Amino acid sequence: MNVQPKTVDAGSRKRKLLPLMGNEAIARAAWEAGVKVASAYPGTPSTEILESLAKYPAADIDAEWAVNEKVSVDIAIGAALEGVRAMASMKHVGLNVAADSIMSQSYIGAHGGLVVIVCDDPGIHSSQNEQDTRLFSRFANIPVLEPSDAQEAYEMTKLAFDISEEFDTPVIVRSTTRLSHTRSVVAVGERVTPKPKGFVDSSTKTVTIPANARRLHPKVIEREAKLAAYLETSPLTRWEKGDPKFGIVTGSISYLYVKEVVPNASILKLGASHPLPGETIRAFAKSVDRLLVVEELEPVLEKEIKAMGIACEGKAFFPRLGELSPELVRAGLAKAGLIEAAPPARAIDIEPMARPPVLCPGCPHTSTYVALRGLETRVAGDIGCYTLAAVEPLKSMDTAVCMGASIANAVGMWKAGTEKKPIVATIGDSTFLHSGIPPLIDAVYNKANITIVILDNGITAMTGGQDHPGTGKTLRGAPTFKVDYETMCRAAGVEWVRKIDPYEVGRLYQTLREAIVHKGVAVVIASRPCVLDPVKIKGTPLTIAKDGCIACQSCMNLGCPSLTWADEMHEGRHKIKIDETSCIGCTLCAQVCPTDCIQPVTP
């Protein structure tokens, strides 16, 4: 096969060196590879890929936020079908949303070159689960490249486009949090502008009706065998000869941990972990006394190598959960009896104070959850900053499954017929646009009796403040149409819709009370900009007149991080004080104070 990693050249020292994060390296590679269309929906740890791409000239690359990951992949597919290089990027759970398109596109191919960047999150730093994208590559019969550092992220992303075109397949490049967010020096190259190939009329290939799909499926299987053959000789598969006492099959960031712990070991580094180069693995296994597999998360390689009839060991010594580390690799190899165990670490006798995350001072989501708790509702929640309402001190959200689940979860709760409390779904604006609209239509269609609160803070706050169709701005900051939630809800058939400012506490309570007694679907749109995005809001801070505070703790129910207990006491309870540096003057605490002792700081 003719796909050599042209970009992995020995002359890299002559190239320009840039300090790039893994995600920036991927973006740089995409730009250099001549990607014409790039689309993504934000999600940690992948978000910076598209944000970095948007810094390259608009004439070179059309970079856009899509409403969700499936839409982003479908846009990339459309562009690739027109014969240009296209890319979609997402976090691992975004791949679930995009899965339907990728599964079928695997049959259709890639024509112009189609690469999907998926960033996994071992250790669940900022996600709702820890799924391993390598399993999906097997499911979809498409190759997955796994860089170990930012330089490889750059090189493999470029190579992924070559492979995609040569083998007519979508290619996944899999990163992880540690790689995406680690910065190191990357030798970069020059941009190429591939000639657009144009659309090729071939409906037997591009229309997946059963008759065509039946013909395409065997080709997918053949393609996989060709890719495996290519990977036998490709520099992506690297055999590092070392001590034959044991050999380690590894890849991705795990490779770096292995190199740190046993630099002279025999290592088979798999730059692509699907499909596997079986012959090379077999030869490598024969060359060592014992074969180990060091891989983060699932025993994907271990199981497949065992299925080839090759004896190996892996998860007996290394954890299946969370991130690996040099310490864990060392401990695992020691447990296997292959190296000395590390001397016991010096015990540190300090218990760090637990500091659970809380909503920001003045967060517009706070009052909605205080009110829902007061109204004793059953709250089906969703994913966003507001998911923090599920934990202390707000503790007023009962469920959070995945993006867009809240409304349909609430419908199911109502259908179950066992709930004594009013059922409320709460969903952020970005999440509503991502996957909340079909369940809203479903709720009306099936005559559900639920309340939906759209928490409209005018931004995708959780992932760092990205624009979306409700903000009226594109990724590059250009003005565009701004979705009107009220009109949208009415078009879906919702008759009872109210828009309120969640800083007006009295009105908020009253509106929610009316919504939960309304028969049918009631929608409350709680609109108030995020205090951090697009600009940090800082109004006149508030202060508490000590004499007036009766230590009733009403304001403390807000869980605002600007409120703390003062040393002074009233009837055995601590009075409250406000940290004026973090207070933004939202007045929520003043509104719930029964003695009116909270006032703006006078200059």
Contacts with ligand TPP, residue ranges (CB under 6 A) = 41-43, 69, 91, 93-94, 97, 128, 383-386, 403, 428-431, 455, 457, 459-463
CB of 1 or CB of 537, closer to ligand TPP: 537
CB of 374 or CB of 534, closer to ligand TPP: 534
The least CB distance from residue 403 to ligand TPP, in Å, is: 4
CB of 147 or CB of 384, closer to ligand TPP: 384
Phi, psi for 423 (deg, rounded to 5): -100, 125
Asked if residue 365 lies in contact with residue 389, where contact means CB atoms within 8 angstroms, the answer is: yes
CB of 152 or CB of 382, closer to ligand TPP: 382
Cβ burial of 602 (10 Å; 0-12, 13-18, 19+) is exposed
User: Distance between CA atoms of 375 and 453, rounded to whole angstroms?
Assistant: 14
Give the closest residue to 145 by CA, choosing from 53, 90, 227, 63.
227
CB of 186 or CB of 525, closer to ligand TPP: 525
| Residue 204: both structure tokens together | 């037997």
The least CB distance from residue 478 to ligand TPP, in Å, is: 20
| Residue 24: both structure tokens together | 């920036």
User: Distance between CA atoms of 85 and 191, rounded to whole angstroms?
Assistant: 13
The least CB distance from residue 173 to ligand TPP, in Å, is: 18
Phi, psi for 321 (deg, rounded to 5): -110, 145
Q: What length does the chain have? A: 603
The least CB distance from residue 327 to ligand TPP, in Å, is: 29
CA angle (447 as vertex; 442, 449 as ends), nearest 5:
105
> Closest residue (Cβ) to ligand TPP?
428
Half-sphere exposure at residue 105, Cβ-oriented, CA atoms within 13 angstroms: 29
The least CB distance from residue 135 to ligand TPP, in Å, is: 17
The least CB distance from residue 124 to ligand TPP, in Å, is: 11
User: Distance between CA atoms of 536 and 9, rounded to whole angstroms?
Assistant: 45
248 DSSP β-pair partners: 267, 292
CB of 56 or CB of 386, closer to ligand TPP: 386
User: Distance between CA atoms of 570 and 549, rounded to whole angstroms?
Assistant: 8
CB of 204 or CB of 480, closer to ligand TPP: 480
The least CB distance from residue 139 to ligand TPP, in Å, is: 17
The least CB distance from residue 224 to ligand TPP, in Å, is: 27
CB of 165 or CB of 429, closer to ligand TPP: 429
Q: In what order do the strands lie in the sheet with 423-428?
A: 378-380, 423-428, 451-456, 522-527, 496-500
